[in-house]
Amino acid sequence: MAAWLAWCVCAALVLGWTRQEVFPTDSGLLGLTASWVLAWLGLCAAPLVSMSIRARLRERRSTADPESMVRDRALPMADRVAALAALADRTGPDDALLVLAPEIRAVPELAAVLVEAIRSHPTPERLALLARAAERRWEDWPDEVESDAAWVLVQGLRRGEREAEPGLISSLQARDPEIGRLAAQRLAEVGSVDAIPELRRAERVLGEAARRAIERITKREGIEPGALTLLDPAGGGLSIAEGGEGALAEAVPRRPPPSAKERSPTG
């Protein structure tokens, strides 16, 4: 409608100009008729020109590189989001994050696309890239995108997808205490002994939630009471055997499995 009104204004201007310059007033009915014909020809040609321009733009977008489309801030946001989704499907969210990190961090809509793409395929590399992107511009994202990103990171704590990196839970907790508690709870449900050092590091900010998570892991893994204290007499963090945190599971003594008599309700 706005375009149509604009063309009407243009037609009125053309009409006035032709009446004054091309066909003077004394030319009578012929001049008036000719000026109206010129004006209506312009109005009729406008939709055709507009359709041609839109067709050329669509053709350009279909053949353009998705990466350049995401960077082109003159394009509508819907086109940039679609291009980013296509790029993430084609190259993987990790490559898209690496190539387009500044644009993604600065534009919440693009961040939401990447969060969803990483949620679908939460490999350790993609989760690490998401964590780095979140750290730099987390506060600029809408609440729902921030919450989704944090939840993807929490879900990524599952063994085989993302181990508890130093400071991860504390970082999540600093942004939202509830997310930090969820991360500790998630580690308590699925984490191995290797998650205990990170829970110990987060104990200062999480308090009882971290202690309960450690207790659940030690109970599930069948760790002997006092074994963690023996490994860490000072109580300031676990001593990890050489070979990294993965070696901790080998070093901690465990209780033998209960016998059939012990499992019996009657004892």
Q: Could you tell me which of 177, 181, 179 has the C-alpha nearest to residue 199?
A: 181
pTM of the complete model: 0.41
- Residue 88 burial by Cβ neighbours in a 10 Å radius (0-12, 13-18, 19+): buried
Q: State whether residue 172 is helix, strand or coil.
A: helix
Mention every residue, 6+ apart, whose C-beta is less than 8 A from residue 246.
194
Q: Once rounded to an integer, what is the mean pLDDT over residues 232-260? A: 42
End-to-end CA gap in the chain? 84
**In this predicted structure, which of 61-75, 147-161, 193-207 has the lowest mean pLDDT?**
147-161
- Tokens linked to 67: 């990466």
Residue 254 phi, psi (nearest 5) = -125, 155
Which 8-state DSSP code applies to residue 22?
I
Could you tell me what percent of the chain has a pLDDT over 70? Answer: 32
Q: What is the pLDDT of residue 147?
A: 67
Q: What is the mean pLDDT of residues 78-106?
A: 68
- Each domain of the chain, given as residue ranges in start order, spans 7-46
Rounded CA separation 2/193 (Å): 65
CB atoms within 10 A of CB 101: 16
Instruction: Write out pLDDT tens, residues 27-58.
Output: 555 555 666 666 666 666 666 666 666 666 66
The mean pLDDT of 241-248, rounded to a whole number, is: 38
Q: CA 5, CA 88: separation in Å to the nearest integer? A: 41
Q: Give the pLDDT of residue 263.
A: 47
What pLDDT digit, counting tens, does each position of 121-158 carry? 766 666 766 666 655 555 566 666 666 777 677 666 65
Mean pLDDT confidence for 184-208: 73
